[in-house]
C-alpha cells in the first residue's frame, strides 16, 4: 500500500466510529471472525484498544492485519484502522 493510498484511507477513517474494543482478553477467534465479517461489509473499520489490553495498538493492529489478510492503515493512540478489499460485488468499493 502506498503512502498516498494510506492518506486517502486515513481521511475516510476520520469520520467513522470504532466498531469494537480489544481489552484484557486480547484477540480471540470470535473477534477475528466478527472483524472479518465487518471488513467484508465495509472494507474499512476502526477498532479501539483499551488500556488494560496486552500490547500496544501498533502490535495488535499488525497482528490483526496478518490474521485478517488485510492492512493496518494506521495505529495511533488507542485506535487501529484496518482495511481489506471486499470480495462482494454488491457494495461500493473504496477507490484510490
Report if residue 88 sits inside a domain.
no
**Domain of residue 74, CATH code:** 3.30.110.60
Does residue 93 belong to any structural domain of this protein? no
The cell for 70 is: 488485510
Average pLDDT, the chain: 95
Per the domain annotation, does 18 fall within a domain? Answer: yes
Is the residue at 96 inside a domain? no
Q: What is the pLDDT of residue 5?
A: 95
- Asked if 71 and 1 touch (Cβ cutoff 8 Å), the reply is yes
Give the residue-averaged pLDDT of 10-19: 96
Is the pTM of the predicted complex or chain greater than 0.95?
no
pLDDT attached to residue 95: 86
Number of structural domains the chain divides into: 1
Percent of the chain with pLDDT over 70: 100
* Best CA proximity match to 71, nearest among 21, 2, 18: 2
Residue-wise pLDDT tens digits, 39-70: 999 999 999 999 999 899 999 999 999 999 99
In a domain, 73, yes or no: yes
Full residue range of the structural domain in which residue 69 is found = 3-83
Amino acid at each position: 500500500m502506498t503512502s498516498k493510498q494510506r492518506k486517502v484511507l486515513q481521511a475516510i477513517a476520520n469520520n467513522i466510529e470504532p466498531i469494537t474494543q480489544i481489552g484484557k482478553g486480547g484477540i480471540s477467534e470470535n473477534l477475528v471472525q466478527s472483524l472479518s465479517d465487518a471488513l467484508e461489509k465495509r472494507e474499512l473499520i476502526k477498532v479501539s484498544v483499551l488500556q488494560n489490553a496486552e500490547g500496544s495498538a501498533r502490535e495488535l493492529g499488525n497482528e490483526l492485519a496478518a490474521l485478517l489478510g488485510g492492512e493496518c492503515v494506521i495505529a495511533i493512540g488507542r485506535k487501529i484502522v484496518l482495511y481489506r478489499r471486499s470480495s462482494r460485488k454488491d457494495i461500493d468499493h473504496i477507490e484510490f
